[in-house]
Amino acid sequence: MYLEWGADLGIFGLTAGVAMIAIPLVQLARLRRYWRWRRPQYAAMAGAYSLAIIAFMGSAIFLHLSYVRYFFVLLALANAVIWVLTREREAFAPTQVPAKPVARPAHLPQQPTAAADA
């Protein structure tokens, strides 16, 4: 499949194809590391899709481009997992407590307020 990408689409198509594979794998690895101790089932899901992509890449050496639609379905599912786990990470992250306002030092002039300007 990779040789066909290179032959049919040229160096730019091959680069885009490799990027389509590499970017989700990197994102899944980051999410797997993040969720490893927080929610192991999420880490397992990210790891499973990473392994599925890697296994398909291994078998794709011998596959024809007619099987590429199954690869795109796998990539779409992996990207859906990335999207869901990223949103879950944002919701799971503790909210930051705003810092207590610090008093302005006495040697600095006071900032004008809106009430003083009116």
CA distance 97 to 2: 50
Q: What is the pLDDT along the chain (118 residues), one digit of tens a residue?
A: 777 778 888 888 888 888 999 999 999 999 999 999 888 999 999 999 999 999 998 888 887 777 888 889 999 999 999 999 999 988 877 665 555 656 666 666 666 665 555 5
Judged on CB neighbours under 10 Å (0-12, 13-18, 19+), 116 is exposed
Angle at which helix 68-92 crosses helix 40-59, to 10 degrees, equals 160
Q: 65: which DSSP letter?
A: G
CA distance 84 to 17: 23
